Chains A and B, each alone.
Chain A
């Protein structure tokens, strides 16, 4: 099963974290990515730029409207994602539990949809 780990942060208190903790988050995440690469589970992942740089696009009656800022206004924003494939849901949860952002904010684990299906 393929999963996307959605990594949430609060940008205001990210900046207030002590340097050591910010570094620890980065290096802990890096270590997990390395582990998933070595195990052949990693599919991909990226960090996202601050949500103040987001553009939200709506099209109504064929007319696009582009506004600055995220779709959902919240203190937390989506800071990045990690895409991986693993054998069991338990393994996916284990990875999520170790993801460092979960210590301060939260990570969300979502199974990916597949194009495979069985006729019923």
Chain B
């Protein structure tokens, strides 16, 4: 591992601890978060030059505290000038606890939009810089900076506090955290072009953060399920695009490129979770990914088992995207017409904004049914409607094969 990567890993691991320490001491999540970001930037420039300090966490806490007290002093002076002196509360003692979960729950505050939850989580918990997050999401740094500061104002206005909510509420808030981690993962995983390094970083961050949540909530089957899903999906990363960047469908992927280590870990995680925890949607999705991963060749896939899992998922978390995948599994078990019939139930479904997905699946099933002209028309219609360049390319290539 390169020295810069080691520094980066260390900084990212320390970021939530340093932020937690500061918030415990001074309150003021928003100001503390800015101070920690500055300390991380200072470390990123100084450590490679001067070496990592003996106590990196303490170093970061000291630098961040200094920045924060400077800021608070400047603010106090401003207030004094405005003739409204507020007494600073005495600093509270620093508790030595892992604040990662409390930070995640705060950053994924329900008052925030998903885009803001993602940005704030990556910065405050993931320790990424605003510039890195901006590059990963292909927006200017100023835009991302504004999103983050706005998110902090929104949390403040909504009365969000740096404390874990009671257990009952925590369960709901944790669902939001898991969804945000899933979105971060997907943003990185679905990328086929653009700044690759930053995108791969999102995958790595999502997996790392989910691992840290699992360490804190080892009995939550859905946390284990999400981690398993990420690992089993990421295992296919090298196989999912061709050398020219074109998407390779699951059935045509070179399975020798799938990463066994991630598959083994993911499969073990989901098997264990299913055996002892209450089953949930992430576990079922991970189980589906595990069944795919177990097949040495596409034709060895245990489609009846996948179909049963989609039926379970459909009952648990019904949504049009699940129905689409369910239709494919149904077609593989009972023939294309059964899949097409299920697909027809989605026609006119207002929840499906990406209507090209229905058309793409329909095209595939029509092709399986041997209805070439109809398949061709559906591929072309899907290709025109998608906003994804690699999907468009893929769909046009399918159409060309039939035309």
Contacts and interface: CB of A to CB of B under 8 A. Distances in A.
Interface of A: 1, 37-44, 85, 87, 89, 111-120
Contacts of B30: none
B191 A115 contact: yes
B201 interface: no
Contacts of B387: 1, 111-114
A120 B360 contact: yes
B143 A42 contact: yes
A44 B140 CA distance: 8
Contacts of B194: 115
A38 B154 CA distance: 12
A40 B247 contact: no
B168 interface: no
Contact of A117 (B113, B143, B394): B394
A40 B250 contact: no
Contacts of A44: 140
Nearest to B193: A115
With a 10 A CB-CB cut-off, give which of A37, A85, A111, A119 has the most chain B CB atoms.
Answer: A119
Nearest to A120: B249
A114 to B, nearest CB: 6
A119 B248 contact: yes
Contacts of A37: 146
A40 B389 contact: no
A115 B192 contact: yes
B233 to A, nearest CB: 10
B288 to A, nearest CB: 14
Residues of A contacting B: mostly: loop
Given A38-B150, A113-B392, A89 B353 contact: yes
B139 A119 contact: no
B214 interface: no
Given A38-B146, A117-B192, 14 more contacts: A37-B146, A38-B150, A40-B115, A40-B150, A41-B143, A85-B115, A113-B389, A115-B193, A115-B390, A116-B390, A117-B388, A117-B390, A118-B247, A119-B253
Contacts of B360: 120
A117 B387 CA distance: 9
A118 to B, nearest CB: 6
B240 interface: yes
Contact of B389 (A38, A114, A119): A114
B34 interface: no
A97 B85 CA distance: 46
A12 B388 CA distance: 38
A119 B191 contact: no
B330 interface: no
A117 B391 contact: yes
With a 10 A CB-CB cut-off, give which of A38, A39, A111, A120 has the most chain B CB atoms.
Answer: A120
26 contacts: A1-B387, A37-B146, A38-B146, A40-B115, A41-B143, A43-B140, A44-B140, A85-B139, A87-B114, A87-B115, A111-B387, A115-B191, A115-B389, A115-B390, A116-B191, A116-B390, A117-B192, A117-B388, A117-B391, A117-B394, A118-B247, A118-B388, A118-B391, A119-B247, A120-B247, A120-B394
Contacts of A120: 247, 249-250, 360-361, 364, 391, 394
Contact of A43 (B143, B187, B193, B247): B143
B43 interface: no
Contacts of A117: 190, 192, 247, 388-391, 394
Which 8 residue pairs of A and B lie closest in terms of their CB atoms, listed nearest first? A40-B147, A117-B390, A115-B193, A40-B146, A116-B190, A117-B388, A117-B391, A119-B240
B144 interface: yes
With a 10 A CB-CB cut-off, give which of A1, A87, A114 has the most chain B CB atoms.
Answer: A114
